[in-house]
Amino acid sequence: MKAIITEEQYRRVITESIKEDFEKKLEVAYGYGKDIVKDAQEQLGLSFKFLLTYGAGIGSLVSPIVDYLNGQYAGLSESEIHGLAVAAISIVFYNAKDYIKIYNKMKKDGLIDEFSYTISYTQKLKEKVTRILDVLGMSIYTGLDIVAYSFLLPILPALINLLQNPEMDMIALEGLTTSSFITLSAVVLKTIIEKLSDKISNKKTYNHDDEELESPDSETL
């Protein structure tokens, strides 16, 4: 016998499924970033806990930097790569006050050239993500704004697909507001959903031909 559920029950099932999907992706991003920050702290002997202030955003940003360094510097250890990636993020996005200490540590370890290239790549990544967020209608004023919104990167395809159906706006919002890996307020998240919905309803679609929405680790960087 087929079970019959009410519209409210169906909505609840869909909402919980979306929440679980978002939470898994965000948890992976946050966990990845947290592990790399911890490794970098041990490598450089400095505290970078402040990088975790914006939850999943750090993991979303550090991933393409680590991939780039792994491709460019096969001779570096994993800890050295993590140290370079985290140091570059702290400088490019946070204007780290410990720049001199970081520089001296890199010089001592013979990584000045690698450090310079990593900062350059991270700056290009910052510009790339800024363009993506600008297309989405996000207000970007500082590097910290970019970090705050970067949690969107791992869930963006699923979120856009979800919002193709205008009735899913509130379900998408409910799927985000309960996440412990997002530090933005419910009001800001609501604004993000509304802006994405407006983009979609205005037929400004996001497909593979849209240069501004390529993956942040695109080879164009």
Q: How far apart are CA 145 and CA 148, in angstroms?
A: 5
Give the number of other Cβ atoms within 10 Å of residue 21's Cβ: 15
Q: How far apart are CA 104 and CA 84, in angstroms?
A: 13
In a domain, 219, yes or no: no
State how many domains the chain has. 1
In a domain, 153, yes or no: yes
Mean pLDDT lowest among 56-70, 91-105, 118-132: 91-105
Domain of residue 46, residue span: 7-213
Residue pLDDT, tens place only, 139-158: 787 888 899 899 998 898 88
Mean pLDDT lowest among 26-35, 77-86, 207-216: 207-216
Q: What stretch of H or E contains 152?
A: helix 152-162
For residue 187, what are its two tokens?
């009001």
Q: How far apart are CA 108 and CA 99, in angstroms?
A: 14
In a domain, 1, yes or no: no
In a domain, 2, yes or no: no
Residue pLDDT, tens place only, 192-212: 888 888 887 775 444 444 444
